[in-house]
Each structure stands twice: as structure tokens, then as C-alpha cells.
Structure 1
Amino acid sequence: MRAEFDYSDLKSDRNWDDLRKDLDRNGESRVLPQLLRTFRECGAVQCLEETAYIDRDFSDAFANFYSTLYRQRPRFCRRIHFFAVDVGPALSAPTKGETARELEAATEHYLGHIVIRPLGHAPVGSAIVSTSHFEKPGTEIAVRSDFRVHVLGAELVVKGVPVTEQDKRTGACAQATIWTAGRHFHNRYAMPWFSITDITEAALTPTDSFLARSLPAGSDYLTDDNMVRALRAMGEFPIFYGSDGETGWDEHPRRKITRYLDSGIPVIVGLRRGEGVGHAVIAVGTRLGGTHAGSSPKYGATTGDRVEHILVHDDQRGVYLPLAVGKQSTSNAAPCGEDRGPDDYTLDDALFLIVPLPNKVFIKAEVAETLARDKVSRVAKNRAQHLRDEHPGLSLEDWAVDPAFYATAANDLVARTYLTLGWKYKRRLMRNMVDEELKNEVSGMQLPRYVWVTEFSLKDDVADTDPCRRRVRSHVLIDATGSGYEDPVLVTHLPGIILAETFDPAEPGSPTRTKLHVLLEDAPYFPKVRGWGDYDTCAVDPAPGPTAANDGDLKAA
């Protein structure tokens, strides 16, 4: 069997209208027109089509469901690739080798693709749109990975998050969100591959009376319990957060969502307004507003307070769509430019959140943040004693490292909490502007696989959208495998103070030993930036380096 390839211009309204009619011949898909609009807004000028494309997802759905129907359907799909440059010359090159090389040379202009399955009511099998056209100052697609596609001997790479359209036969919006999370984990971390039918089968075990209200079972909707079962079967360890209805959330859901997105973990958001089944979307990014919304009396100020929109994938509306955190934030501007108009849902309609955590994480994000804030508060109160222990005779007034930090109440320090790998934390720290004493202490530490990091800043330190102009003044490292039975704090850094906890592995259960360092000078440093292993992007001015009182001498390169 041979696949055929053809390319088409997308430079006029008629070109786009013809493509839409060709791909959605029944005119029933809600998401396909939105995806085409997104590709157009992001600069697509040409598309390349693969016919007779064998799609693994639809092959699975065909084998498990569609092949059993009386009315048969084709088993082959079409894959449409979108480019921001003209690839016609590459396709008409004298040799196939030149075609492959020229296509690969256009990978920077590759915007993604749509797989069209032979289902008139739900043609979008999957789609992925490049994140590069969505990330602007204050906007971050936190969940992303490189997807590699192969066409005509060329390898094209697109960074993004996939989306699928519910087909209403093998799955609904719940399965679509789980599929997106699972496909991201499979692509980035080599987790097991699950199709929509695999997800539905996992959710149906055991089948209950709610699922049995539709045929096939689970095709109309899944309950939150079913969704948790499916994620657990996929090798994830989901955490469930829910609104209790009368009193609502213990803290605004955007704060919970932001912590996990900052860890690169997608969050499934269950939405419902009034009575009815509701809807599920999956959070993949954030968009900041102008100022902090103020501190929470329970948890204190966080970077999540500035988030005005959660960016979500919606199997009915499209990709990277802004979901307002409340009714006061109703702007739904598309990141590529045009307004999409108001959306019915906001985070005020959030009924539950499901966070698919990896194994060996036994502390929730908000618990880690509370532990970190309490630790910072205690160390700050005891800094006079710490100073006497390390530098007898030196008064607190003479020491005076970063007085602005110590004059700020613990709940007014802006916290940013995220999960990361122990080796990644160490790698970033070694390349940051932290004091050598801290680097020396951490470099030899054996860290657990997963750690929680909570960074603390003053509000002005994190006001800029440029990460090179943001600053961290303190941070706490917590063992994510820890528990309430043992102190999970591993490293605490406040301006001028370092506390490192160690234990003897030869004596299980023995108390930890604390190593104290009190510095006579200290300075703020860079925050973690997702996707950065170092800070070479940020350059230092020839002027004297930053201090706790004046740390504005660093700029973006």
C-alpha cells in the first residue's frame, strides 16, 4: 500500500473554507472549525495531506468497536500538516532525498497537524498545535513536550499538547481529557500508551448503574470515580480535590491548579453550572494578570494569585483556550490574536480537580507549601540565635542581611511551589546565583527522586513577566516521599541563613542532624524557569552585582 501526498495553499478565505468543507463534510464537528481557525491565526499558509494514513488510535477504536457495527466504515485516516512557509518547492525537488532534507529544514515553521478519521459526526481523531505561537509575556504553556512526526522520510518536531474530539460512541469529554494527560505522559515520560477504548475499559471496571445508563456503557459520561480508576490503571496516582457545595473550596482552585501546572502536571477540571452532567477540560497553562490579588488567610500569598486565566484544552472548543478564574476575568482573547468571545464556564463553576501524580509522591502541593512557609517563619524568628551560634559577638543589627525580607510577614511572602526531580533541582542550583556555601552543601547531598520546592519572594520581586527580572530570596526543599511522621524538610535557605538536614542511613529512625551556615552577605537569585537547565539566557550587566537591597542589575540577554 502506498500513501499519497498533496499540498494546498491556505492564503485566502476560500482556501480555508474549502479545506473546512473537505474535512468536515457533515458540518457536525464543533472543534474542527476552531482548530482550523487557530492554525490560520498562527500563520499557516500551506498544508500537506497524507492520505490512507494508519492512525494507531483509530485502528484501536476500529478493532474494538467500529468493526463490530453493521454499517461499516473505512479504517484509514487522513493527516493534515500545517506550515507557516511554502513547502511546495520541497515537494517538487528533483529527488526524494532533497524533498526529505528540505522538509526537515522547514521544521521551525511546522505548526502541527490534525488527524481526520472517517467519522462524519466526530472527524478529529487527534490534533497538536505548536505552543511557540501562544507563549507571550505573562503566558506559559506549562505542560508540553516534543512530538516527532515522520512524513516522506523527514522528521518534523512540534512542541505542544495533543487534543482529541469525543466521538460519543467510545468516549465522552472525560475520556478526552484523560487521553490528553495520558498521551503527554506517554510521549514525555514513556508511560504506557492508552487509547480511548482502553481508558473507557479501565473506567468501567467495575461497571455501575450510572455507567449502564448509556450504550455503549460510559459513552455519555464518566463520574469522577470512574476517571480516577482509569488514571490509576494508566500508572498514575491521582489526587482528587472537590468543592463541598455549600462552603465551596478551602482555597481558590486556581492556586491548586497553578502549583501542579508549575510542576508540568496537567490538571483535569470538572465544570458544572446548575443541574446536569457538566463538562471536563484539561488545564495546560496560565496567563497572568496585572497585580497580586492579595494573600489567603490560610495559605498566604502565592504566584497563583496573579493568574487571571487557566489555559485549557477543550475537546469541543479547541486548544490553549483561556478559562477565566472568575466572572470578573471574562476576556477570552485567543493567544494568537483575535477574540474568541465569552465562554459560558469560569473556574467559579469548577466542581472538582483531578491531578495525575507520579508514583512516590506522598505529600500534596499545598501541604508542602504550608510546611515551607512555617519553616521560613520559624527560622526568621530564631535568626538571632542562629547568628550567635555561628558568629558570637555579632549583633542582629550589625548583621542586617536583607532587612526587607525579614520585615515582611510570612503570609505576605509570595510563595511558588512546584514538584521537580531531585537531580534537576541540584542542576539548576549549581547554575544559579546562590552563595557558594549553599552550592557546597547541596552538591554532595543524596536527594530523593521527587522533591517539592517552595520559592519565596517579595511582591515586587515577581512583578515582571520576564523571568530574568524575577528574583527569589528564600526557598525550602522538601522530600516529596515524606510524611507527617518525620520532618520532610531537607534544605532551608533564608537570606544569610542555610539549614541542611542530614541523616545516617546506617541508623534507620535516628534523628536528623542540622548543619547551620550563617552568611555575612547574601543576594537574591533566579527562579526556576520551566524548560531551562541553566540561566545563560540571562546576562549580567558590567555594573556591580545585585544585592538584597539593589538586585536590579540583571537583564534579559
Structure 2
Amino acid sequence: MINYRAGNIANTYELNQLITKICPHWNFSKESFEFINNRLNNLKQDLTFAIEYPYVDSIYRDSYYEYFASKHIPYDRNSIRITLFSQEVNFEKLVDGNSEYIESFRSSFLGFIILRPTIDRPVARSVISPKALKNHNFEICLARYTIEFFGQKLSVNGFPHISQDGEAITCAESSLWTLLEYYSSKYKDYNPITPSKLRKLIRSTTGRRMIPSNGLTIAEISYAISELGFTSLVYHNKDQSENILHEEIYTYIESGIPIILGLEAGENFRHAIVCFGHSIIDLAREVDKFEINSEKLIDISCLPRNFISMDDNRTPYLEIQPNSLGVTYTKQTTAKITFAIVPLNKRIYMESTIARALAKKILLEFKEIRESREPLFIRLFLTTSRSFKQSLFSPNTKMAKVIKKLLLYNSFPRFIWICEIGTAENFRNEQGQGLLILDATGGNSNSSILFYYFDKKLRNSKDLTSETDLNSRDSLLFSLYKNNLKGEWNDWET
């Protein structure tokens, strides 16, 4: 028999009482409920929850059979699922088949949270819509997740989160699982993975035991990413300055690629989180106060932004300040981002550092760029040619027909680096006036140029010395590309 109970998320006492009533054998302590309540702090207080027990969670059940079932203290093999809605949950109306209520009920679904019977860390995995948060002033990667609840098929757009249990799953395993859970939901090329399969994969590279877990090294995380179908790139602040590392992180996030960040503070703090978005800044204000130096090209990746992360020890959608991690990790005031592990598609051969250097080098070879009367800003990101061409038909995109036509008829590889060019005024208005497209499967040379135009000058990839004057009477300004990350601008749709 399945137990269902409903209530308001603001009433944590009611929630805790229902959990105790449904699962008295879990013997949750006061600290257990505080742990659960803290994980709900960033949610809007007018949400409705529905508790469901017993629930079979594949991730906890995997850890149960591999580890918890063999312990002396007995653990329940079942979990609790808390499902979130923006309206009341009326089970009688669902049973009656009230079509009007069912339709609104489905559209009000905002995600779920799994509880497991691990007393010290009872919150397991979750997928929560940004719409359920008190604050969502950011743009992030999103995937679509579908569940079955009380006979209803419910879907939500969100990013997966999992909390470590401290024994079978630590921050490194959590980060790897989060990446694969996202990519397997977003793209058919990848498959989800359970913690036990992940440990089995890594065990071949090390002679030590994998459970209870003592965490993973950078090499082990990188190896696992490579074995799971990606090319693994590691950026370390020992190889480059801290600010440059943050710029590389921003560029990949702006490209819609979630990455694993390694945090360190002295010898006693090592932590891994997943970064998958950034805060929205006032571009006009940041551009205005930007210190213009002698450079003709200024990369906006150096503008200050916070990163959005999934930290297995914190609430989902945690906002961190890359230059001031001590604000978030108050006990680790010297914490810094020391490395970033990037999972790239195997068909992407040009990494961000090469793409950035090549783009700047190419642009400065053109007379109209060098002789610009004011500094030019550039925005660099990776995307697919399919997504880029589809975006040209978005109602949010404005582009002159002559440029749009040239782009649609141009043959591009699957992955491309795009460098948008514009003045401070252009970027304040989220517009560009120039475009450079590079072959992401290419090398570090001018042969990687696929398309370029600026100041009504067009150059073909085959012959850069051949210049075409577009002679258009219309404005050639265009809307900046926004398809990689989602936000309120598209109502959080994938």
C-alpha cells in the first residue's frame, strides 16, 4: 500500500510530522529534520508538497544493495519522494478524473526531492524547476525530466542534484553522477550511470578499495569522464592565473557545457561541485565601469559574474562568487577554484584557449577592426551549427535578411565557435554588429575560419583576401545568441 500525504512547504513542522508518521522506523533525529528543512530554504513558501512512500529510487537502491544492506544496523531499502506543485494537491479530484483539474495539476508540477533512510544525510537526489526558487536571477543549462505520480505523467525542466551520503557517495561521485544524469537526459548519445557502475569503472585504475568512499583524485575524475564518452580537459590555476581560469570556466558555461570545479583551502579542504550557469549582470553598468586599456578587443568573459552550481553539501542552484568563495564557504575563507574539468564531445578538437587566441589574432588582421574608433567587445562561445541556424528563426532574434540568408546557405560542421563583435553600446542593447565563426574541429590557423563579417564587410572562409561589401541600406545589427543557456527570457523551456 502506497501512502500519500499533502501539505504546504512552508509548514516544515507538518512535513516533519508526516515523515515520522509514515516512516517511524527510520528513527530520524532532530538533526535529520534540520538537514531536510535546510535543503528547502531556497524554495518559495507557497508551494504544495505531496509525500509518497514507499518509493523505489534507483540510485539509493543501487547503493543499498552494494553497501547499506551489508551493514550491521538495518536500513530500509525504500525511499520517500516529495513532489512539488504550485497549487493544491487534491487526490479525490484526480481519482474522479476531473479533466480541468488534471490539466492544471500537470502544469503546476515543479519537481521532486528523494529522501533516503541515511540518518545523517537523508536528502538524496532531486530535480527542481527554477520557477520553484525564491531567487532565479540567472541563466543555466536545463534538461527535461518526466516522472509518474499517482497515475499522472508529469514533466519538469531543471538540473539534477544529489547529496552525498558520506559513505557510498562523496562529492566527486556526486559531481560525476550529476554530469551524466544531465547529459543522458539532454542528449541521446549518453547513458545514465549508477554509483556502483561508476566505482567499477574507476576501480580498474586504482588498487585501493572504492567503498566506503574516500573521494576521487583529479586523474580519476578525468579518467571516468573520458570512459563515459567525452574528451576530458583539465584547466588548473597552477598553469594559468586565477582570473584566466575563471574566464575559461565562464566561456564553457556560456557554451552550455556543465563542468566540474575543484575547490581547495589549505590542506584540509578539498571539494568538487558542478557549475552549469551564471548570474545575470547589468551589462550596461559593467561595460560602463570597465577599465578600457590599450587593447582593441575586450573579451566580456572577464566581466564579474557569479557561477551557479550544484554542491552536494548545499541547496540546489547554489550561487558562488568565484573571487570570494569564503562568502559561501564561511569556514574556508581562503577557498579558491583550483581546477576545472570540462567534458567535451569527442568531435570538438579546438578548446577555448585556442579559440580565444585565434579569434583575437584573426580579427586584428582585418583593417576595419584595427581602425575602429572605439574599443570593441567580443563574446566567445561554442554551440552546434544546428542550434545556431534554428535560433535565426526565433522570435527573440533580429537579423538582417542578407546576413541570415548567407548563414543559412553556408555549410558548417556540427560544432562551431562563435565570436560576436560589437561596441559597448551594442552589447548594452544585447546586440552585435559583427560575427566570426570558427570550425571547432579545426586547428590553430586561419583555415578554421568559416564565416566573418563586420562593418558591412564579408569575407569567405576559402579566400580571406576576397572582400565583399554588403552595401545594405538596412542595419546589420543582430540579437546576441541565447540558445545555450535558459532563463526567464524563454520561460525556462529546454
Same fold (TM over 0.5): yes
Q: How does 1:211-230 map to 2 (within 5 A)?
A: 212=208, 216-217=210-211, 219-230=213-224
Query: Which consecutive residues of structure 1, in runs of 5 or more, have no partner in the other structure?
Result: 333-341, 384-404, 464-468, 503-511, 538-557
**Is the aligned partner of 1:261 residue 2:253?**
yes
Is contact 1:171-1:200 (8 Å) kept? no
Pair 1:44–1:109, CA change in 2 (3 A): farther
Taking the aligned partners of 2:256 and 2:82, their CA distance within structure 1 comes to 28
Segment drifting more, 16-25 vs 154-163? 16-25
Partner of 1:550: none
**Is the aligned partner of 1:122 residue 2:121?**
yes
Is contact 2:63-2:196 (8 Å) kept? yes
Pair 1:283–1:344, CA change in 2 (3 A): farther
Query: Which consecutive residues of structure 2, in runs of 5 or more, have no partner in the other structure?
Result: none
Shift of 1:266: 0.8
Shift of 1:523: 2.7
Taking the aligned partners of 1:473 and 1:344, their CA distance within structure 2 comes to 46
Q: How does 1:451-466 map to 2 (within 5 A)?
A: 451-463=416-428
Taking the aligned partners of 1:299 and 1:171, their CA distance within structure 2 comes to 48
> Taking CA–CA contacts closer than 8 Å with sequence separation of 6 or more, which of the two structures ends up with the larger relative contact order?
2
Please state whether the residue corresponding to 1:163 is helix, strand or coil: strand
Partner of 1:199: 198
* 1:516 equivalent among 467, 474, 479: 467
Please state whether the residue corresponding to 1:121 is helix, strand or coil: coil
Pair 1:273–1:514, CA change in 2 (3 A): same
Shift of 1:461: 2.6
* 1:47 equivalent among 31, 38, 49: 49
Report Cα offsets for 1:350-405 as digits up to 9, x if no partner. 1100111112001112321222222222123589xxxxxxxxxxxxxxxxxxxxx9
Is contact 1:451-1:479 (8 Å) kept? yes
Pair 1:418–1:37, CA change in 2 (3 A): same
Partner of 2:415: 450
**Is the aligned partner of 1:315 residue 2:335?**
no
Is contact 2:230-2:343 (8 Å) kept? yes
RMSD: 3.2
Pair 1:279–1:29, CA change in 2 (3 A): farther
Shift of 1:276: 2.4
- Counterpart of 1:228, as a letter, is S
Aligned length, in residue pairs: 473
**Is the aligned partner of 1:484 residue 2:484?**
no
- Counterpart of 1:305, as a letter, is C
Partner of 2:186: 188
Shift of 1:256: 1.3
Q: How does 1:149-548 map to 2 (within 5 A)?
A: 149-190=147-188, 191-208=190-207, 212=208, 216-217=210-211, 219-244=213-238, 249=241, 251-289=243-281, 290-292=285-287, 293-294=290-291, 301-327=298-324, 343-344=330-331, 349-381=336-368, 406-409=372-375, 413-429=376-392, 432-463=397-428, 469-484=429-444, 487-502=447-462, 516-521=467-472, 522-530=475-483
Taking the aligned partners of 2:296 and 2:215, their CA distance within structure 1 comes to 35
Is contact 1:170-1:200 (8 Å) kept? no
Is contact 1:104-1:156 (8 Å) kept? no
Please state whether the residue corresponding to 2:117 is helix, strand or coil: coil
Please state whether the residue corresponding to 1:272 is helix, strand or coil: strand
Report Cα offsets for 1:141-177 as digits up to 9, x if no partner. 3211121121112122221111111122222101111
Shift of 1:248: 5.3
Shift of 1:440: 3.0
Report Cα offsets for 1:29-88 as digits up to 9, x if no partner. 88633322123xx23432111211111112222233333334442221110112222113
Is contact 2:86-2:108 (8 Å) kept? yes
- Counterpart of 1:529, as a letter, is K
Shift of 1:206: 1.1
- Counterpart of 1:519, as a letter, is L
Taking the aligned partners of 1:46 and 1:248, their CA distance within structure 2 comes to 48
Shift of 1:527: 0.3
Taking the aligned partners of 1:326 and 1:165, their CA distance within structure 2 comes to 25
Pair 1:62–1:96, CA change in 2 (3 A): farther
* 1:33 equivalent among 37, 53, 65: 37
Is contact 1:271-1:349 (8 Å) kept? yes
Taking the aligned partners of 2:19 and 2:291, their CA distance within structure 1 comes to 46
Partner of 1:508: none
Shift of 1:495: 1.9
Partner of 1:543: none
- Counterpart of 1:151, as a letter, is F
Is contact 1:287-1:308 (8 Å) kept? yes
Pair 1:235–1:225, CA change in 2 (3 A): same
Shift of 1:118: 2.1
Please state whether the residue corresponding to 2:365 is helix, strand or coil: helix
Identity in percent: 18
Is contact 2:264-2:335 (8 Å) kept? no
Is contact 2:203-2:210 (8 Å) kept? no
Report Cα offsets for 1:504-531 as digits up to 9, x if no partner. xxxxxxxx68763212344311001136
If you compute each CA radius of gyration, which structure gives the higher value, 1 or 2? 1
TM-score normalised to the size of structure 2?
0.85
Taking the aligned partners of 1:436 and 1:93, their CA distance within structure 2 comes to 52
Partner of 1:105: 104
Taking the aligned partners of 2:294 and 2:165, their CA distance within structure 1 comes to 44
Q: How does 1:41-80 map to 2 (within 5 A)?
A: 42-80=44-82
Taking the aligned partners of 1:353 and 1:444, their CA distance within structure 2 comes to 37
TM-score normalised to the size of structure 1?
0.76
